[in-house]
Amino acid sequence: MDRKITFSEAINEAMAEEMRRDEAVFLIGEDVGVFGGVFGVSTGLFDEFGETRVRDTPISEIAIVGGGLGAALMGMRPIAEIMFADFVACAMDQVVNQVAKARYMSGGKASVPLTLRIVNGAPGSAAAQHSQSPEAWFMNVPGLKIAIPATPYDAKGLLKSAVRGEDPVLFFEHKMLYAEPGEVPEDDYTVPFGEAVVRRAGKDITILAIGGVLPRVMAATEQLAAAGIDAEVIDPRTLVPFDKETVIKSVQKTNRVVIVHEAHKRAGPGAEIAAMLAEEAIGYLDAPIVRVATKNVPFPYAPDLEQYILPTVEDITEAVSAVVAYRL
């Protein structure tokens, strides 16, 4: 597998291939058509599929999500783009009370094959309303699947799985991963939900790297290795369903764990994972569970302040070193 493409190109390929494969698949969102998406992810799709299947919408997340839900209930397979994750809050009732519950409330008679592509993460000085990672908001809502890929391979494979499924999927794409290259096969493939992957094998500590922080975590492991700490890195790939078996198996071996994500620390995805480990794997742990995450303040515009609140490579290495050094 020698071909390398970027994260954004992988998503673009997945959408194009699924649209060619199934005429029920279409894309809607703000500026996804002629403009090709504000981040360029839908480039070329309008030219190939036309305005019927690549539809620009008003600046209204309620309309985007509501329209996607209606189309899904009528047998279509919409992909709806939310340009900035922060503004999925504008469609909170649609997502939480309609999209998540329609299949359950119909007794399974209605499927909701709606994929919401949600662009999250801090891109650099985008300030308080364009930088958040709100994936944990939706972990509390039964009926939603949550994907959070960190590599081009997973972005393409998970998006294909989402589009082909029968349940609504929130598909989080970190802005700062869009330019990241990675190996992606040309052949058709999917990545199943609920299967984590070990990005680096190790024996001293488990690091759970969620979404956009993976490059920082991998950089930290190089520094840690130079200091004699052999860290195992697990990428969950999906938060719902969550592959707790792989994580617990790793903790059984290393007896220590640090959870890293860019969502705010308070009640972020790491809080739920830490609670699960405390309930089901406490006997394997020889040190406290530690979370490295964004500090609990709104995102500042100033670059130096933004970097101060975000989890950095240095933050990760310091946290891991402290947990490894901890003795009961």
pLDDT score recorded for residue 26: 98
Q: Is 90 in contact with 61 (CB distance < 8 Å)?
A: yes
What are the residues facing 181 on neighbouring strands? 6
**Neighbour-count burial for 156-167, b at 16+ CB within 10 Å, e otherwise:** bbbbbbbbebeb
State how far the alpha carbon of 318 is from the alpha carbons of 214, 225, 277, in Å.
Answer: 16, 13, 22
pLDDT digits (tens, 9 = 90+) for 65-117: 999 999 999 999 999 999 999 999 999 999 999 999 999 999 999 999 999 99
Tokens 């309303």 -> residue: 129
Which residues are identified as catalytic?
A: 130
Nearest Cα neighbor of 144 from 189, 94, 107 is 94
Contact residues for 241 (Cβ-Cβ < 8 A; gap 6+): 145, 193, 194
Coil vs helix vs strand at 25 = strand
pLDDT score recorded for residue 328: 73
CA–CA distance, 139 with 6 (Å, rounded to integer):
28
Chunked into runs of 10 residues, the chain (328 residues) has average pLDDT values of 91 98 98 95 97 96 97 98 97 97 95 98 94 97 98 98 98 97 96 98 98 98 98 98 98 98 98 98 97 97 96 98 93
Nearest Cα neighbor of 293 from 212, 221, 183 is 212
* 54 CA to centre of own chain: 23
Q: Is 147 in contact with 156 (CB distance < 8 Å)?
A: no
pLDDT score recorded for residue 1: 59
CA–CA distance, 201 with 254 (Å, rounded to integer):
10
Contact residues for 140 (Cβ-Cβ < 8 A; gap 6+): none
What are the residues facing 120 on neighbouring strands? 174
Nearest Cα neighbor of 231 from 254, 260, 213 is 254
Beta strands, E only, the chain? 4-6, 25-29, 54-56, 77-82, 115-120, 145-147, 169-174, 181-183, 197-200, 205-209, 231-235, 238-240, 257-264, 290-294
**Neighbour-count burial for 245-263, b at 16+ CB within 10 Å, e otherwise:** ebbbbbbeebbbbbbbbbb
Element housing 250 (H / E)? helix 244-254
Three-class SS of 78-139 = EEEEECCHHHHHHHHHHHHHHHCCHHHHCCCCCCCCCEEEEEECCCCCCCCCCCCCCHHHHH
CA-based diameter of the chain, in Å? 63
pLDDT digits (tens, 9 = 90+) for 187-214: 999 999 999 999 999 999 999 999 999 9
CA–CA distance, 30 with 36 (Å, rounded to integer):
10
pLDDT score recorded for residue 2: 76
DSSP state of 299: P
Residue ranges of domains in the chain, CATH in brackets? 4-183 (3.40.50.970), 197-325 (3.40.50.920)
